[in-house]
Amino acid sequence: MTIGNWAFIDVIRNPEKHKDVFYDPPDGNIEGLKVCVIRDRKPKAKMHFLIIPTFLLQVYKNLNENHISLLEEMRDRAQQLVEELKNTEEGKDMNFKIGFQAIPAMMQIHLHVISDDFQSPHMKNKRHWNAFNTDFFISPDYFISELKKHGFIEVDDAHYNNVIKQPLACPICDREISPLSELMIHLEEFHNKK
């Protein structure tokens, strides 16, 4: 695991050094909060935010029934964020997705709030696309349900490693299109994605 994979942990351990990434609280003062909202430093769309716990919680296997209220708060804050963004000039006509990646690239559990335009210089490859446009992107309600039923989260790594490698496909018409640049052109030309 590279140092970059630990970046979110440094954000919560040393928020004063990372004030530029905080959306809420805007000053980065996370004392007394369970969750905070940060901007993704390599956004994969015009709007891309992360809801993260303000305490160390690195991986899904560390979750148990005591974390149900935390995941509910993360989900609720994500939904609130979508409403806030839709009340801005830039976000008023956008649609948003909320989810966890089945196999996150970064340590520290984080919930994505991302606009579905996927217009970004950081959206570079099939893995990036499939991470948000396949069942690799998991609803927080599914994780909450699993914790309520079983008391833990179990992720089938083999399954999701196959999902992330599947061919690129249009999320609207399911047509397989490769490379990513051609898929983006298809979306713009045939589905009026803006």
The Cα 131–Cα 163 span in angstroms is 9
186 is catalytic: no
DSSP the chain: --GGGGHHHHHHH-GGG-GGGEEESTT---TT-SEEEEE-SS-SSSSEEEEEESS----GGG--GGGHHHHHHHHHHHHHHHHHHHTSTTTTT--EEEEEESS-SSSS--EEEEETT---TT--SHHHHHHHHSTTEE-HHHHHHHHHHHSS----HHHHHHHTTSPPB-TTT--B--SHHHHHHHHHHHH---
Catalytic residue among 48, 67, 110, 112: 110
Catalytic residues: 110
